[in-house]
Amino acid sequence: MSGISLRTKRILKNRAFLALCLFSTSATILILALLLMSIMVQGSHFLFSSEALSAVFGHGELSQVTKIIRWEFLSNFASRFPEKAGIYAAVIGSLWVCVICALLALPLGIGTAIYLEEFAPKNRWTALIDFNIRNLAGVPSIVYGILGLTAFTRMFGLFGSDKNSALSFGPDNAWWHIQLPFGQGLLAGGLTLMLVVLPIVIISSREALRAVPSSLRQASLAIGATPWQTASKITLPAAIPSILTGAILAMSRAMGEAAPLLVLGIPVFIANTPDNLNDNFTVLPFQIFNWAGRPQESFHQLAASAIVVLLVVLVCFNGVAVYLRQKLRKPLA
């Protein structure tokens, strides 16, 4: 008798655990859904035109809606008055700084990955660099902000202050006008974000390179290709889809970072878009942080609307990543 009850007990335990598993997994997904819904609800007020909103939630006629999106939110600058506020400067600033970050972080990160996977001898120094990179990935982004503040914004005070720059290159109205130190300009922002995402780019690119079968490397070396010829003509082309996917995920991270830029002291309110590499800028996450931190409810709604825009941009990024992966991925062996 006791044998049967023991068996029943074990089966029940097994069932109960499966239920717990299902509960916790669905809880995770529910949290995600709740997060997205709450933001969508709060954000709708400034994202959609009043006629569209009233048609959906109230008494308006859906067929009479001529304008769905409230484009002013995207095309206006930030403002003290919620009804007039928009995220134009923040969106443009985010895109700019992300492009600069990508141009800096991708060559450096992929270069490091190629060196470590294809060239580096397996010795203590290589192990040290590897260990260092893994731990850099765990350094809080705000600490990178401090490095960026000292090294890029102030340049260790070597070139005077940012208001009274000692060195500048290029005419004031050229987009490539640069002065030292970088101050709170785009270049300082891009460089600082580069510090944050560099370890991520390196680690994901290395994994991509490692996934290329070593038989391809051997084949290439065996017909007399040098290590660089092998890396550039065989390994890298084979790894590119995964490298790009990792790069886009890293750029999504850069797009969502506010803490390191906050340390640089970028402005919240700005009434123009950047003209050159040294110009001040602000970014979407920082704008959201600012609005969410205010007491008035309409600013919270503004923050939610800006979050929706940010998430849409990130979804687009990831969509491109998935598309590239599907499009470029070929079997390797």
Partner 1 sequence: MPDTQPNLAKPATAPTAPTAAATAPTEQITIRVQDFNAWYGAYHALHNITLNIPSQRVTSLIGPSGCGKSTFLRWINRMNDLVPNARADGVMQLDQDDVLDRAFDVVELRRRVGMVFQKPNPFPKSIYENIAFGPRLHKRFHHSDLDALVEQSLRAAAIWDEVKDRLHNSALGLSGGQQQRLCIARAIAVGPEVLLMDEPCSALDPRSTASVEALIRELRQTFTIVVVTHNMQQAARVSDLTAFFFEGKLVEAGPTDGMFTNPKNKQTEDYVTGRFG
Partner 2 sequence: MSALSAKAASSAVELARKGVARSRHVRDGWEFAIRGMLGCTALISIAITVGIITILLRETIAFIQMPDITLTDFLFGTTWSPLLGAEKHFGIWPLICGTFLVSVVAAMTAIPLGLITAIYLSEYATNRKRAILKPIIEILAGVPTVVYGFFALLVITPALQGACNFLFGTPIFSGYNAGAAGIAVGIMILPIVASLSEDAMQSVPRSLREGAYALGSTKFDVSVKVVTPAALSGIMASCFLAITRAIGETMVVALAAGGLAHMTLNPADQVQTMTAYMVQIFLGDAPAFGVENLSSYAVAMVLFMVTLVLSIIGNILLNRYREVYE
* Residue 3 contacts which entry, partner 1, partner 2, none (Cβ below 5-8 A, type-dependent): none
Q: Using CB under 8 A, pick the residue from 133, 191, 212, 243 that binds partner 2.
A: 133
**What contacts 134, CB < 8 A, 6 or more positions away?**
199, 203
**Between 64 and 93, how does the x/- string for binding to partner 2 read (CB under 8 A)?**
------------------------------
CA distance 261 to 257: 8
* Residue 273 contacts which entry, partner 1, partner 2, none (Cβ below 5-8 A, type-dependent): none
Of 169 and 296, the one with the shorter C-beta distance to partner 2 is: 296
Max CA separation in the chain (angstroms): 93
128 touching partner 1, by CB under 8 A? no
CA distance 259 to 146: 10
Is the C-alpha dihedral spanning 237, 116, 195, 312 positive or negative?
Answer: positive
Comparing CA positions, the residue from 94, 87, 39 lying closest to residue 256 is 94
Cβ distance 66 to 51 under 8 Å?
A: yes
* Residue 292 contacts which entry, partner 1, partner 2, none (Cβ below 5-8 A, type-dependent): partner 2
Supply the minimum distance, in Å, between the C-beta of residue 206 and partner 1. 18
* Residue 119 contacts which entry, partner 2, partner 1, none (Cβ below 5-8 A, type-dependent): partner 2
289 touching partner 2, by CB under 8 A? yes
143 touching partner 2, by CB under 8 A? yes
Q: Considering only 52-60, 208-216, 272-280, 320-328, which stretch makes contact with partner 1 by CB under 8 A?
A: 208-216
219 touching partner 1, by CB under 8 A? yes
* 3-state SS class at 67: coil
Cβ distance 108 to 101 under 8 Å?
A: no
Q: Tokens representing 63?
A: 């067929």
Question: Angle between the 284-292 and 236-256 helix axes, to the nearest 10 degrees?
Answer: 30
Q: Considering only 19-27, 78-86, 274-282, 324-332, which stretch makes contact with partner 1 by CB under 8 A?
A: 324-332
Burial degree of 242 (CB within 10 A; 0-12, 13-18, 19+): buried
Cis omega (within 30 of 0) for bond into 274: no
* Residue 216 contacts which entry, partner 1, partner 2, none (Cβ below 5-8 A, type-dependent): partner 1
CA distance 79 to 46: 13
State which of positions 186-225 bind partner 2 (CB under 8 A). Answer: 195, 198-199, 202
* Residue 321 contacts which entry, partner 2, partner 1, none (Cβ below 5-8 A, type-dependent): none
Supply the minimum distance, in Å, between the C-beta of residue 132 and partner 2. 6
150 touching partner 2, by CB under 8 A? yes
Q: Using CB under 8 A, pick the residue from 229, 272, 312, 316 that binds partner 1.
A: 229
